[in-house]
Amino acid sequence: MPNDPLAIPSAATERAAQLRVELARHNHAYYVLDNPTIPDADYDKLFRELQAIEQDYPALVSSDSPTQRVGGAPLPQFEQVRHSVPMLSINNGFRDEDIVNFDRRVREGLKTEAGVEYHCELKFDGLAINLRYENGLLVNAATRGDGATGENVTANIRTVRAIPLRLQGDKPPAIIDIRGEVLMFKADFASLNARQRDAGQREFANPRNAAAGSLRQLDPRITAKRSLRFFAYGIGVLEGAALPASHSALLDWYMQMGIPVAAERRIADGAEGLLAFYRDIGLRRAQLPYEIDGVVYKVNAVAQQAQLGFVSRAPRFALAHKFPAEEAMTIVQDIGLQVGRTGAMTPVARLAPVLVGGVTVTNATLHNEDEVRRKDIQIGDTVIVRRAGDVIPEVVSFVPELRPADARPFVMPALCPVCASPIVRPEEEAVARCSGGWVKCPAQRKGGLLHFVSRRAMDIEGLGDQLVDQMVERNVVTTAADLYRLGLGSLATMERMADKSAANVLKAIEKSKSTTLARFIYALGIRHVGESTAKELARHFGSMDALQKADEAQLLDVADVGPVVARSILQFMADPMNVELIEQLRANGVHWEEGASGARPKPLAGLTFVLTGTLPTLSRDDAAEQIEMAGGKVAGSVSKKTSYVVAGSDAGSKLAKAETLGVPVIDEAALLGMLPPSNESES
Ligand code: IVH
């Protein structure tokens, strides 16, 4: 009888215990140390082994077993939970002077002239949660709710792998309320939305909504399928252990217990130090794997926190320094069309100017015709506009209550507004296109040229939007090959073009003649051939001739190339005008190093590099390109698998991490020494 506990072989009991410890250790390495120890597949194997043992001997199942994260039966509704210690909010500051005033009030409250020690951390854009552990075991999890009462989401929280079911260490407190934020990483958000789209289900507007929607699910099995994460930043009740003397020590203690704490935190002195942290994080915000809406400053010493106390529902010892709002409301005055380099028609909302995240926005993309329909955006609507980092602002939604009676829906015209060629939209495509091609449509010529000269393509500096516009308008340049026939005379006649800048543009054009095959392929602007596909094609075929002659089967052999991409390449190469363009570019002196991929030395094959800080001569992109050309890989974060960290000046946390993990750190000179000698042979 496998159900009889006496009948359980001791080997099974021991192995189950061993597996639980091992799985918890891997979880800890992944979620707390941010340093995975085994591949996902190996984790899954251990996990399934434990599942099998528990299936044979159900008496072995314990509530803290990782197998118990799968999610139980749906709840009829969430229970209300009263927080033993209320969950407060924090006061906000926006301008530098708000921060200076905060620091002054703190010093006045503490009756000190001396600089106060602050703990600087991130303001996570997720939802606040209280985790109660009793004698080390997770017993309850509740949302913030109105601060006094929240909802019991324990069944859902148990499915979140980032949150330990049992605290690490031998002497856990009798009771501890660990507070922090549940959130969804940007990458997980993107793949969740892709899955929602494929399943014909509603997409989430942002990672915060996705996290909230995933956690406030009555069916925990759904939560279990969503990748949620957690970072701790506070404490409620504590019994049976001494409270650490500072906030930073509290977070250190959390990490020892296996609770994830974000690595981006720092002790700072005075208002100056706080503002430096804010600016530093502001610069790195886009690179963080999750969204934040500001930073938080907290007086570090717990005794000083107590001395300062609270005003209404917020502590005097903390301040949230928010980034400028990245969403704003405005009116759609018109919907225009932008014609891309492949003729794609992008509807663009012309907006009443509005400040979004510190930048005035007058245009926002509506992506395509179907998006306009789906979001039901009409001319005259009041809309929410969002910009995140450097990306193009987009229209998120309209406000139904504010729709005027004379609002007009958008209609895709029959003819291209630029060249009057018919607009066509193949049945199976989301995008309508101008059928004129670059021969008839100046907008496509401009788009194609701008792509050709762009930094990741031929990298011709000084050939901006306005100059390309003029050159196309005046028919000075029709194809990219014409760029290499430009003389000082024709350039200097362009508006706002002094002799000196004309000479610089010519110099940049000349310099671009020496390029790489990958850049050249990318610069051609073949539909569906982005930068990484271009690199794969260059690596695979080794020469332009081989690529031009490739048939479908050969193209499909390339990593990254599927039927759609292959067809697009074949179509491009079959067009005599494109063949002519390639020939002329070469005749005008554009060249690169050719040769089958095997012939080029690959001394860095199998090595992974992480770049950090500012290198003395190479830009990050250049360094990455050189490493990749020599067969190496470039990764974004340091792990045990990193072969070398290449550090320049002002290297930050990656350098520190390399040092803790014992990953060798080298400088630019050492990197250059590892590369094969450059060989600028003509093609
Ligand atoms: S501390 C006693 N720290 O911001 C102070 N809150 O307005 C309690 N939040 O609902 C909060 N990151 O969801 C604190 N590092 C952080 C935070 C943070 C995000 C959120 C939290 C809370 C709201 C307070």
Nearest to 308 by CA among 565, 103, 158, 615: 103
User: Do 479 and 523 touch, CB atoms closer than 8 A?
Assistant: no
For ligand 1, what atom is nearest to the CA of residue 90? Answer: 7
680 pLDDT tier (thresholds 50, 70, 90): very low
Residue 71 has pLDDT above 80, yes or no: no
For ligand 1, what atom is nearest to the CA of residue 126? Answer: 13
Q: Report the DSSP pairing between strands 318-322 and 91-93.
A: parallel
Nearest to 135 by CA among 243, 17, 240, 28: 240
Residue 678 has pLDDT above 60, yes or no: no
151 pLDDT tier (thresholds 50, 70, 90): very high
257 pLDDT tier (thresholds 50, 70, 90): very high
Q: Where are the beta strands (DSSP E) in 357-449?
A: 359-365, 378-379, 382-386, 394-398, 408-409, 423-424, 433-434
Q: Whose CA is nearest to atom 2 of ligand 1?
A: 88
For residue range 626-664, list pLDDT tens digits in order: 898 888 888 888 998 899 999 988 887 888 889 889 999
Alpha-carbon distance 380 to 400, whole Å? Answer: 11
Alpha-carbon distance 75 to 73, whole Å? Answer: 7
Q: Whose CA is nearest to atom 18 of ligand 1?
A: 123
The alpha carbon of 247 and the centre of ligand 1 are apart by a number of angstroms equal to 14
Q: Which helix (H) or strand (E) holds 121?
A: strand 117-124
For ligand 1, what atom is nearest to the CA of residue 144? Answer: 10
Cβ-count burial 232-248 (b if 16+ within 10 Å, e if not):
bbbbbebeeeeebebbb
For ligand 1, what atom is nearest to the CA of residue 315? Answer: 2
Q: What mean pLDDT is predicted for residues 437-454?
A: 94
Q: What is the pLDDT of residue 595?
A: 66
Residue 185 has pLDDT above 50, yes or no: yes
Q: What mean pLDDT is predicted for residues 548-564?
A: 91
Alpha-carbon distance 378 to 585, whole Å? Answer: 45
Beta-ladder partners of 337: 347
Range among 21-35, 306-320, 568-582 with highest mean pLDDT value: 568-582
The alpha carbon of 89 and the centre of ligand 1 are apart by a number of angstroms equal to 6
SS3 267: strand
Name the catalytic one among 45, 111, 123, 186: 123
For ligand 1, what atom is nearest to the CA of residue 92? Answer: 7
Return the best residue to mutate from 208, 233, 295 for the ligand 1 pocket (most ligand atoms within 8 A of CB). Answer: 233
Q: Whose CA is nearest to atom 21 of ligand 1?
A: 128
> Angle, to 10 degrees, between the axis of helix 96-109 and the axis of helix 270-284?
140
Return the best residue to mutate from 119, 146, 181, 298 for the ligand 1 pocket (most ligand atoms within 8 A of CB). Answer: 181
Residue 598 has pLDDT above 60, yes or no: no
The alpha carbon of 513 and the centre of ligand 1 are apart by a number of angstroms equal to 54
Give the DSSP letter string of 451-488.
Answer: HHHSTTTT--TT--HHHHHHHHHTTS-SSHHHHTT--H
Q: Whose CA is nearest to atom 13 of ligand 1?
A: 128
For ligand 1, what atom is nearest to the CA of residue 121? Answer: 15
Return the best residue to mutate from 296, 299, 321 for the ligand 1 pocket (most ligand atoms within 8 A of CB). Answer: 296
Q: What is the pLDDT of residue 202?
A: 78
Backbone Cα Rg of the chain: 30
Q: What is the pLDDT of residue 17?
A: 93
Q: Whose CA is nearest to atom 3 of ligand 1?
A: 233
Per the listing, tokens 């942290």 go with 277
Q: What mean pLDDT is predicted for residues 186-200?
A: 87
For ligand 1, what atom is nearest to the CA of residue 87? Answer: 8
441 pLDDT tier (thresholds 50, 70, 90): very high
Return the best residue to mutate from 123, 127, 146 for the ligand 1 pocket (most ligand atoms within 8 A of CB). Answer: 123
Return the best residue to mutate from 89, 177, 288, 319 for the ligand 1 pocket (most ligand atoms within 8 A of CB). Answer: 89
Alpha-carbon distance 229 to 211, whole Å? Answer: 9
User: Do 41 and 95 touch, CB atoms closer than 8 A?
Assistant: no
Range among 27-36, 198-207, 457-466 with highest mean pLDDT value: 457-466
DSSP state of 600: S
Higher pLDDT pick, 33 / 589: 589
Alpha-carbon distance 467 to 445, whole Å? Answer: 13
Cβ burial of 65 (10 Å; 0-12, 13-18, 19+) is: buried
Higher pLDDT pick, 651 / 31: 31
The alpha carbon of 518 and the centre of ligand 1 are apart by a number of angstroms equal to 47
User: Do 61 and 68 touch, CB atoms closer than 8 A?
Assistant: yes
Q: What is the pLDDT of residue 679?
A: 42
The alpha carbon of 131 and the centre of ligand 1 are apart by a number of angstroms equal to 15
Farthest-apart Cα atoms in the chain, separation: 96
Q: What mean pLDDT is predicted for residues 360-376?
A: 91
Q: What is the pLDDT of residue 6?
A: 63
The alpha carbon of 236 and the centre of ligand 1 are apart by a number of angstroms equal to 13
For ligand 1, what atom is nearest to the CA of residue 320? Answer: 7
The alpha carbon of 88 and the centre of ligand 1 are apart by a number of angstroms equal to 8
For residue range 523-533, list pLDDT tens digits in order: 999 999 998 89
Q: Whose CA is nearest to atom 12 of ligand 1?
A: 123
The alpha carbon of 257 and the centre of ligand 1 are apart by a number of angstroms equal to 21
Q: Whose CA is nearest to atom 14 of ligand 1?
A: 233
The answer to whether 549 is a known catalytic residue is no
Six-digit token pair at 491?
């350039």
Percent of the chain whose predicted confidence (pLDDT) is above 90:
64
Return the best residue to mutate from 87, 90, 323 for the ligand 1 pocket (most ligand atoms within 8 A of CB). Answer: 90
Q: Whose CA is nearest to atom 24 of ligand 1?
A: 89
Q: What is the pLDDT of residue 389?
A: 58
Residue 509 has pLDDT above 70, yes or no: yes
Per the listing, tokens 């701008």 go with 450
Q: What would the 3-class secondary structure string for 314-337 be? A: EECCEEEEECCCCEEEEEEEEEEE
> Considering the chain, what is the average pLDDT of its residues?
90
Q: CA angle at residue 538 from 626 to 541, to 5 degrees?
A: 140
For ligand 1, what atom is nearest to the CA of residue 318? Answer: 5
Nearest to 455 by CA among 219, 264, 621: 621
Cα–Cα distances in angstroms (integers) from residue 227 to residues 101, 108, 222, in the given order: 40, 44, 10
Helices (H) and strands (E) in the chain, counts: 26, 28
Six-digit token pair at 203?
């997409």
Q: Whose CA is nearest to atom 17 of ligand 1?
A: 123
Q: What is the pLDDT of residue 4?
A: 61
For ligand 1, what atom is nearest to the CA of residue 127? Answer: 13
User: Do 237 and 81 touch, CB atoms closer than 8 A?
Assistant: no
The alpha carbon of 207 and the centre of ligand 1 are apart by a number of angstroms equal to 17
Nearest to 515 by CA among 611, 566, 588: 588
The alpha carbon of 362 and the centre of ligand 1 are apart by a number of angstroms equal to 33
Six-digit token pair at 636?
């974004």
The alpha carbon of 304 and the centre of ligand 1 are apart by a number of angstroms equal to 19
Nearest to 134 by CA among 106, 174, 165: 174
DSSP state of 229: E
Pocket of ligand 1, beta carbon within 6 A:
88-90, 121-124, 128, 144, 181, 233-234, 296, 315, 318, 320
The alpha carbon of 83 and the centre of ligand 1 are apart by a number of angstroms equal to 16
Residue 681 has pLDDT above 80, yes or no: no
The alpha carbon of 437 and the centre of ligand 1 are apart by a number of angstroms equal to 53
